[in-house]
Amino acid sequence: MNIQKKIDVGLTIQQSAIKADQAHSLKLSGLSLELGGTPILRDISFALPVHGMNILIGPSGAGKSTLLRCLNLLHQSWQGDLHIMDKDVRTWPDGADALRRAVGLIAQKPSLFPCSIAQNVVFGLGRKARKQVSDEHIEQVLRQAALWGEVKDRLHDKALTLSVGQQQRLCIARALALAPKMLLLDEPTASLDPRSKQCIEASLLELAATMPVLCVTHDIEQAKRLGGQIIFMCDGHLIESGDSVDFFARPERIESREFLRWSVCDCS
Amino acid sequence: MLNLWMRASAWICLAVVILLLGFLVQQSWPYWQQYGFSTLFSGDWYPYEKLFGLTAAIIGSFWAALIALSIAIPTGLAAAVMSTEILSGSWRSLSRTGMELLAGIPSVVYGLLGLWVLLPLLQSSLGLLTGHNLLAAGLLLSVMVLPTIMVMAQDALSEISSEQRDAAASLGMGWSERLWRVLLPQAWPGIRSGILLALGRALGETMAVMLVVGSMDRIPEPFYNLLAPAQTLTSRIGREIGESAFGSMHFAALMACGLLLATVTITISLLAHLRADNTSVART
Ligand SMILES: Nc1ncnc2c1ncn2[C@@H]1O[C@H](COP(=O)(O)OP(=O)(O)OP(=O)(O)O)[C@@H](O)[C@H]1O
Ligand SMILES: [Mg+2]
């Protein structure tokens, strides 16, 4: 009897865990976007689990960056339905700005503000938080962005003197400083050397343990290393999504196979 | 060849400025010799009694420019922000064309408009004996320098890349925060040049000011009284240069006014350019 009860309890716990796994931090259905009269994104639907790594791949011009901008409401003219943490983003409490603080977006092209490195890190914080922010917090986010070692002695130098790869990592740190609940990264390691790449990947995996991370990359090897869910896009369509291991071992769609084998995709 | 030509023109421009200043110094020399700088602090300007104090006109010029800028800066900035950040394409170019048209209207037309519209309005609404005063001059000038400030601010704002705007937006910064912390600071060098140019124009504008300022040579009483007829350096020169005999002390005194104006405006535009140069070097 007692044992049976324990098993029952264990089962319900497991079930709720499964349920939690099925819960989604982001649920997108039927997103379409036109810009200047041309359809850029067509009927895209996918979901991100409450935490874990998600990789968005696809040929150049597929609409990956545009999709990330939609998720962050930088594009607002799309049709469809987007729920983040079970809340409709259109009616997000306190508006789009609060949503963007919760959903960190790191753009493809690093864009720093013309002030010091440290000031850039805390740029997104409110006035009070900027004054009270501790050096430890700055150090922590810079470490997470694999940048601390290079800038720890020059925190008050102009941020624009950094190399492009360093700027990209500073952008990651700047987004992390806001303690986002979800991260969207657009080719975060595009201009990095292998070592910094590795550091960033390790950081991202660590972050993915606690929050959903959606990362665009052109680097198939990196996509394999990061694992998680793969979302494959081409020409504004979502072609295939699924577990990384399955996707790379047994891509279902012919477009995916072509893309993986020859890095071409003809789906228009 | 082209190089030579460009160098030559640069030197010619410089030479013209120096010649001009030299001419003004030479023509006003008798004045400085006889009255020295003491007259800078005297308000009495009675050419027939050989009293040539400059203070009244200096204060007048100062007030007119101050009124003009304190109205035109906020208005011009707001208009620039409005048109670059809020209006969409066709409205933006429409507002810009409008501003450029405003900038192209001859100043005497502004003066006439001031005479017909502004003066009666001031007179009746403030219950004055006459609408000719510094306030009228300042108001009129503010309309005249508005396009300068707005167009320069617009250019400076639209130079800021869309990546910067997006970066600020994706940090969750609200509209006003983006404006104050990203857009205006980055556009500031251009805005500042616009303000300095506008200041130069406000100080140097003659025709329109002459028509509305009242041309009374006395220090405002008290000095912040903007509602009495007054005089500016430019309006004094414009009004009296025709009646002064070439080579007379009156003429020299007017030339002294001109020298003062030229020095101040040249300094201002040098400042505007120096700053612009500095920032462009810093940016590259
Ligand atoms: N503001 C815009 N107006 C019109 N078209 C746009 C706009 N932004 C992007 N596009 C178009 O949308 C398409 C997708 O662009 P996007 O930048 O999302 O591609 P991407 O998948 O990120 O490519 P890459 O891997 O090269 O970064 C492109 O054809 C582009 O021309
Ligand atoms: Mg892209």
Pick from A139, A122, A141: which is nearest to A130 by CA? A122
Give the binding-site residues of ligand 1, using a 6 Å CB cut-off: A 35-36, 40, 58, 60-66, 108
- Range list of H helices, B171-248: 175-178, 184-204, 207-212, 233-240
Q: What distance lies between CA B60 and its chain's CA centroid?
A: 13
Residue A3 has pLDDT above 70, yes or no: no
pLDDT score for B178? 93
Task: Name the residue among A135, A150, A253 with its Cα closest to residue A199.
Answer: A150
Q: Would you state the pLDDT for residue B281?
A: 43
The full set of domain ranges for chain A reads: 3-262
What's the pLDDT at B221? 76
The label of the residue with tokens 């460009």 reads B6
- Where would I find the beta strands (DSSP E) of chain A? 24-35, 38-49, 52-57, 79-84, 87-88, 103-106, 182-186, 212-216, 229-234, 237-243
Which residues in chain B are contacts of A113 at CB distance < 8 A?
A: 164, 167-168, 182
d(CA B121, CA B144): 18
Which residues of B are less than 8 Å from A175 in CB distance? 170-171
Give the pLDDT band (50/70/90) at residue A5.
Answer: low
Percentage of chain A lying above the pLDDT 90 cut: 53
Which ligand 1 atom lies nearest to the CA of residue A233?
21
For chain B, domains (ranges, CATH) are 55-283 (1.10.3720.10)
Find tokens 């306190």 and name the residue: A94
**Under a CB-based contact definition with an 8 Å cutoff, are residues B137 and B231 in contact?**
no
Amino acid A15: pLDDT = 46
Residues B26 and B193: their CA atoms lie apart, in Å, by 31
Token digits for B13?
């421009």
Q: Which of A72, A84, A92, A113 to mutate to test the interface with B (most CBs of B within 10 A)?
A: A113
Report CA(A67)–ligand 2 centroid distance (Å). Answer: 9
pLDDT of residue A28: 92
User: What pLDDT was estimated at residue B177?
Assistant: 92
B185, two tokens? 């600071």
Which residues does chain B have with pLDDT short of 50? 280-284
Distance (Å) of CA A56 to CA A66, A168, A182, A206: 12, 19, 15, 18
pLDDT at position A8 over 70: no
pLDDT in the model for residue A122: 94
Q: Which CATH class is domain A3-262?
A: alpha beta
Question: Which tens digit of pLDDT belongs to each residue from B157-187?
Answer: 999 999 999 999 999 998 999 999 999 999 9
Q: Least CB-CB distance to B163: which of A109, A123, A174?
A: A109
Length of chain A: 268
Average pLDDT over residues A98-114: 93
Please say whether the beta carbons of A5 and A56 come within 8 A.
no
Q: Is residue A266 over pLDDT 90?
A: no
Rounded CA separation B207/B80 (Å) = 27
What is residue A121's predicted lDDT score, i.e. its pLDDT? Answer: 94
Q: Which residues contact A143 (CB under 8 A, 6 or more apart)?
A: none
Residue B29 sits at φ, ψ, to 5 deg, of -55, -50
Q: Establish if A114 touches chain B: CB-CB under 8 angstroms.
A: yes
d(CA B217, CA B45): 6
State pLDDT tens for residues A154-209.
999 999 999 888 999 999 999 999 999 999 999 998 888 888 888 889 989 988 99
* ipTM of the complex as predicted: 0.84
Q: How far apart are CA A71 and CA A54, in angstroms?
A: 14
The ligand with the least distance to the CA atom of A233 is: 1
* Per-residue pLDDT tens over the stretch A207-248: 899 999 999 999 989 999 998 999 999 899 999 999 988 888
**pLDDT at site B278:** 56
Quick check: A113 and B166 CB within 8 A? no
**Cis bond leading into B47, ω under 30°?**
no
Q: Which of A100, A109, A114 sits opposite B171 (nearest CB)?
A: A100
DSSP annotation string for B53-121: --HHHHHHHHHHHHHHHHHHHHHHHHHHHIIIIIS-HHHHHHHHHHHHHHHHS-HHHHHHHIIIIIHHH
- At A192 the pLDDT is 85
How far from chain centre, in Å, is Cα A195? 21
The terminus-to-terminus CA distance of chain B in angstroms comes to 29
DSSP summary character for residue A50: S
Is residue A78 a contact partner of residue A31, using CB atoms and an 8 Å limit? yes
Nearest atom, ligand 1, residue A68 CA: 18
Q: What share of chain B is helix, strand, coil (3-state, %, to 5)?
A: 80, 0, 20
Cα(B70)–Cα(B147) distance, rounded to whole angstroms?
14
* Dihedral, B74, B80, B82, B85 alpha carbons, nearest 10: -130
CA dist., res. B44 & res. B121, Å (int): 31
pLDDT of residue B277: 58
User: Residue A4 has what pLDDT?
Assistant: 54
| pTM, entire model | 0.83
> What is the per-residue pLDDT for B275?
61
Measure the CA–CA gap between B154 and B148, rounded to whole angstroms. 10
Predicted confidence (pLDDT) at residue A98 exceeds the cutoff of 80: yes
Nearest CA to ligand 1 atom 26: A60
For the record, the structure tokens of A239 come out as 């072609």
